Amino acid sequence: MTEQTPDSADERLREEQNNAAGASRWEAPAAGSLRPATDLAAASEQLLSGGARQLDSAALRDALLDLHDFWLTTKATEIGVTATSGFAIVATGGLGRGELLPYSDLDLTLLHDNMPHDIVGRVAELLWYPLWDANIRIDHSVRTVPEALKVAGEDISAGLAMLEARHIAGDSDLSSLLIGGARRQWRTGIASRFDELVEHTEARWQRSGQIAHRAEPDLKCGRGGLRDVQLLNALAIAQLADVYPSRSLASPTGTLGEAHLALLNVRTELHRVSGRGRELLLAQHADEIGAALHIGDRFDLARTLSDAARTVSYYVDAGLRTAANALPRRGLAAFKRPVRRPLDEGVIEFAGEVILARDARPERDPGLILRVAAASANTGLPMAASTLSRLTENAPELRTPWPRQALKDLLVMLAAGPAAVATIEALDRTGLWGRLFPEWGAVRDLPPRDVVHIWTVDRHLVETVSRASAFTTRVSRPDLLLLGALCHDIGKGRGGDHSVIGAELATQIGTRLGMWPSDIELLSNVVRHHLLLPHTATRRDLQDPKVIAAVVDALDGDPVLLELLHVLAEADSLATGPGVWGDWKASLIGDLVRRCRLVMAGEPLPKPDPIDPRYLSLASDVGVHVEMTPGDSPHIYNVTMIAPDVRGLLSKAAGVLALNSLRVHSASVNGHEGSAINSFVVSPHFGSPPAAELLRQQLILALEGELDVLASLDKRDRDAAQHGTTRAGEVPNAVPINHATAPPRILWSDGAEPGELVVQIRTTDRAGLLARLTAVFERDGVDIAWAKVTTLGSSVVDVFGITAVGDGNSAGAVGDGNSAGAVGDGNSAGAVGDGDSAGASSSSSRSIRDELGHDLYAVLPAPAPAKPVSEAS
């Protein structure tokens, strides 16, 4: 047995006393500490009433924060919560963030350093009961630091709240342990909790909806609300994103910080006006809040909220993408570097985003903005925030008129369907869209005056474009349909008849875009008369011939304008709101259109383009000639291919262009004295075009059978489909560059010559499409007498004049150099008669239509199966 000295015994006793429950560190307060906090409630009420000198929103929040901080620190001293007591008071929520609103709950945590249960209970009563007795709402908890961190690790909401914790009173070291520990725990655990965070956020959005497009928005939890700003702060604490990004990435009216402040001010006034801790902005309070903030009436308030919420939404989307890409890869993906996949000249895909290539020079390339946007919309990949920032800072203004390629890229983007909505939204939130369309400022975030509309005016325009993209094959001018959809309500927000004002603005826009004068006039008329059909069909007597005559006169008897207005009316209705478009309205407008067409003269038949005399002499040589000349704008070239009249020439010529990554924008196909003259307007997908001599050599190899262009195109498509750039285990987020959004459509009519049929193909473009179409004609035994190929953005309108191949003496045999089929015996079902036998001609025409239609549809790009969505989506 060890003998203890008196000194060691005293030391052990002192140690045991110090290690015992820390009662000696807390001193019981004097009597009266449980009196209700009526002084705090009265002071708060006085601040809210304000008297003759009412505080503004920011000053009110600051005053409430100072008041509650003062009361809590005073009460802490009174009840013995001091720096050496083993207790600390920590605030979360609005009090913790320093954004205390008039009727927000007080989110308080009483921390203790393993104090005895009886003492902890006593201190909690001294702190909570005065607040309860004064009817002050509190969200309270009592925990040790390990207990609090455990809750934060198990509950994502508690973990996010703990990141905003702030020391109020007591042992600051204890508070620092919690605050620092919560942030370290968040940073080290974010990789495993990121998916949970995203799911938690999306569930909140699903419950609360979008602030920008709700009549009574949830300012706190709605998409684009204050919770989303807090989410960005959480990502910044995890070192995965910035809190407030560069000011260059600002909305047209302000930065993210200003959007946050606008939401906070509106929520502050909502509390003050309603006298309750409301989060839903009810219509009955809107005018009073707008006046208090010197914004205006409820429509002005709605516009301010829309801008703020959409700005926050943009930054949250960008922040989540940035965070996802910053997370360390796991499994085999950790050993695989993301691939940089070219999308267009100066544009690539990297890590699931569209970014600029290393050699891109935005300061010298005005069209780069639209190429980036077109690539984003067509792939469904978002534009990287850094890319948008660089374009905002460095890209110059597009000159007027726009280069032809810029207009083509705009049309490609507009035809992309729903993906174009997110692309335009990102451009608009960063100021780039307003740079392209200055007229957009008057409709940006403009709330609708009619309750049937569910979108702001600018979003309605974009939604109409998205709807119209599915109808592009129903019109002969899909480019004007998309531009008309984009501009049809552009005249709103300026006073007066928005159709008349919009028509003038459409003329201004069309001139800036570099459109032909006739197309500008047609676009202006589309905007001017976009309400004519629905208003007439639903408000006038369609049995009255005068009503029909008035509509025809208003449209100057133009069937193309009538066609465009018919389709735009449907897209406009579908983009307005649920129930706006239905069978009744569709039948009325359809009846009106049919009656108008009966009055009109009818659509003119397509005619072949005239042959340039310069090429007639080259055709006389009966050799293979390929010529390439610069087009009317940069990156556009004219390619003319002249070769002897052999079957399948057109499909081989188009295939050679596709193999060399030359996109065909238009084509004219003709023949002369045994030679075929094929002219193409093309642009290289990347870089510079190949030499004309290379195209000539490949065409010769294809004609001699040594190069199978269709097989080569199929192999390239298969290789591209196998190319993956996603992380292991992830679903690929890229889609085909030119995915179809509208179903293909084939229209038939009789040609101008006996035995000739005209087939018009409306579809979405794809690599090698012209080669594949002409190969179908080749297999099905028909000749192409002439052709006009037009690519409008990503929409294609190809017209072919075809005849059947006879025995050489048939009137229908053209013997074209673009002959597509094997020679028949003259009695085959596919042979077109010479016009002497009407019955035989009709029967053979139907046979050709049925057979060709089936085979052509088989090679046309079809839209991907879509999940059912509501009309308001």
CA 10 from chain centre, in angstroms, equals 76
Across 210-234, average pLDDT: 93
CA distance 514 to 436: 13
DSSP code at position 337: P
Residue 781 confidence (pLDDT) above 90: no
How does residue 16 score in pLDDT terms, banded at 50, 70 and 90? very low
pLDDT, residue 723, reads: 55
Residue 388 confidence (pLDDT) above 50: yes
pLDDT, residue 695, reads: 93
Provide the residue count of the chain. Answer: 873
Least confident among 136-145, 209-218, 591-600, 757-766: 757-766
pLDDT, residue 604, reads: 45
How does residue 821 score in pLDDT terms, banded at 50, 70 and 90? very low
Which residues are CB-contacts of 852 (< 8 A; sequence separation ≥ 6)?
Answer: 759, 776, 777, 780, 782, 802
Residue 563 confidence (pLDDT) above 60: yes
CB 107 within 8 A of CB 139: yes
How does residue 801 score in pLDDT terms, banded at 50, 70 and 90? confident
CA distance 860 to 865: 15
pLDDT, residue 814, reads: 38
pLDDT, residue 674, reads: 82
Least confident among 69-83, 576-590, 825-839: 825-839
Distances (CA, A) of 769 to 15, 346, 411: 88, 24, 18
pLDDT, residue 768, reads: 86
How does residue 714 score in pLDDT terms, banded at 50, 70 and 90? confident
Residue bearing the bigger pLDDT, 608 or 411: 411
Residue with tokens 């309205």: 585
Write out pLDDT tens, residues 290-325: 999 999 999 999 999 999 999 999 999 999 999 998
Side chain identity, residue 528? R
CA distance 391 to 396: 9
pLDDT, residue 672, reads: 78
Question: Edge-to-edge strand order for the sheet containing 138-143?
Answer: 138-143, 106-112, 87-92, 166-170
Least confident among 110-124, 419-433, 645-659: 645-659
CA distance 443 to 433: 12
Burial 514-550 (b: 16+ CB within 10 A, else e): bbeeeebbbbbbbbbbbbbbbebbeebebeeeebbee
Write out pLDDT tens, residues 325-356: 888 876 665 556 778 899 999 999 998 899 99
How does residue 12 score in pLDDT terms, banded at 50, 70 and 90? very low
CA distance 655 to 667: 13
Write out pLDDT tens, residues 664-695: 877 777 777 788 888 888 888 878 899 999 99
Residue 531 confidence (pLDDT) above 80: yes
pLDDT, residue 474, reads: 94
Residue 733 confidence (pLDDT) above 50: no
pLDDT, residue 727, reads: 38
Mean pLDDT for the chain overall = 84
How does residue 119 score in pLDDT terms, banded at 50, 70 and 90? very high
Q: What percent of the chain has pLDDT over 90?
A: 59
pLDDT, residue 735, reads: 27
Q: What percent of the chain has pLDDT over 70?
A: 85
How does residue 765 score in pLDDT terms, banded at 50, 70 and 90? confident
Residue 721 confidence (pLDDT) above 70: no
Residue 866 confidence (pLDDT) above 60: no
Highest mean pLDDT among 33-42, 238-247, 355-364: 355-364
pLDDT, residue 666, reads: 72
Least confident among 18-22, 88-92, 181-185: 18-22
pLDDT, residue 816, reads: 42
pLDDT, residue 147, reads: 96
Count the Cβ atoms, other than its own, within 10 Å of residue 66. Answer: 12
